[in-house]
Amino acid sequence: MICLLIMLGILIPSLVYAFVYQQQSQSISQTIVRKWLSGWDKRVKITIDHNDVTSDLSNFPVLIYLSSSSGRNNDDVSFVFNELQSDVNRKKIAVTTSDKTTQCYVEIEKWDTANERAWLWVKVPSIISTTDTELYFYYDKDHVDNTDYIGDIGDGPAQNVWADWKTVCHMAQSADSGEIDSVTGSMDYVKTGAVTSVDGKIGKARGSTNGDSNYLVKSATGFPDFRPITVMAWLKFESWLTGYDRPFSREPSGSGGLDWECGSSTNYKLRWWVGGSFDSNTALTLGTWYFVVTTYVNPTTTARIYINGAEDKTGIMPDKTCSNPLYLFRSGKGINRGMNGYIDEFRMYNGELSAAWIKASFESERDHLVDFGSEET
């Protein structure tokens, strides 16, 4: 009897301690699971697929496309529009890192409640190549506009997305206007002639039937020459006008400067020119969108052409300085170099972006880098 009492005296406190410990553990676990950005009513988890990221990336601009069929799994995220109800409420959103509370800067390229579509660029501080990266997208029609972190093209928070870039042109404005440079926040791309606004690869794109007289131009003032350099854009040619159709050009009357050209004289391969040139292995087909990226460091080092996220060709080119305006759809030299086709998401970066960055950009911009969870409240 005495032994039994002794055993009960040991066992009962142990059971009580185990029960209390279990309850505390569950409470702590629930607290972690319920971690939430204060003041927001709803959210959805966004997962970046590490299988499309071949090395770690920092401050990477991820495209978040919201629609009834978004991401690599065609997820329906129309519940975001059901909550926000109006374009006026487009800034009542927030995006955080995986800790669910640290906010990221976001640029709204286009928000279209009527058709339940939106294109956003999120500056993600770190993306890991060995495991999926998680983001959280918050939205609440009753919240005040999140003007510290969310902006339209040209707004301060939106400019923070592109702080490391030299120029970013989304081609998002109407055909009646020029284009705002997302880096400077000003209408730096001036329209000449008829440059149409059409549905593009991402939101809107710009089109010209003949870039000789219908083009966009960015002044050289305040836009110095720089090396190393990465140039990228989505291109679609509709017909070949000359032997050297030029989607972009920044060159003087001589042989210096920068440009892309493609046509019968290049066997319809993309030519990358920096004082000298070489052509891609891949020929471009009419009526097809291509994600084109070119890089250049300095003389006697390798220059590269990437097409649709993969390295296509390398070459060696000399260096020629240039301090000329930047033309889209035409040559800086003048006529007989115009383009008939479309350009979307034209950008320049002061540095050589890595192959991993370019592959992730392609996957992101074709809406194949992320997927979405279910609505959480």
pLDDT per residue as tens digits for the range 185-234: 999 999 999 999 999 999 999 999 999 999 999 999 989 888 889 999 99
Q: What is the arithmetic mean of pLDDT over 26-41? A: 70
Residues 278 and 303: beta-carbon distance below 8 Å: yes
For residue 39, what are the contacts with CB-CB under 8 A and spacing of at least 6? 140, 143
For 165-349, CATH number out of 2.60.120.200, 3.90.550.10, 2.20.130.10, 2.30.40.10 equals 2.60.120.200
Is residue 159's pLDDT more than 90?
A: yes
Q: Can you tell me the distance from the alpha carbon of 332 to that of 141, in angstroms, rounded to the nearest whole number?
A: 47
Q: Can you tell me the distance from the alpha carbon of 142 to that of 42, in angstroms, rounded to the nearest whole number?
A: 11
- pLDDT the model gives residue 130: 98
Q: What is the arithmetic mean of pLDDT over 5-32? A: 46
CA 195 to each of CA 174, 245, 338, 343: distance values in angstroms, whole numbers, following the listed order: 9, 16, 12, 11
**Percentage of residues of the chain with pLDDT beyond 70:** 89
Per-domain residue ranges of the chain: 42-162+366-372, 165-349
**Percentage of residues of the chain with pLDDT beyond 90:** 79
Q: Output the average pLDDT for the chain.
A: 91
Is residue 13's pLDDT more than 70?
A: no
SS3 category, 3: helix
Spell out the CATH class of 42-162+366-372.
Answer: mainly beta
Tally DSSP H helices, then E strands, for the chain: 4, 23
> pTM score, two decimals?
0.90
- pLDDT the model gives residue 333: 80
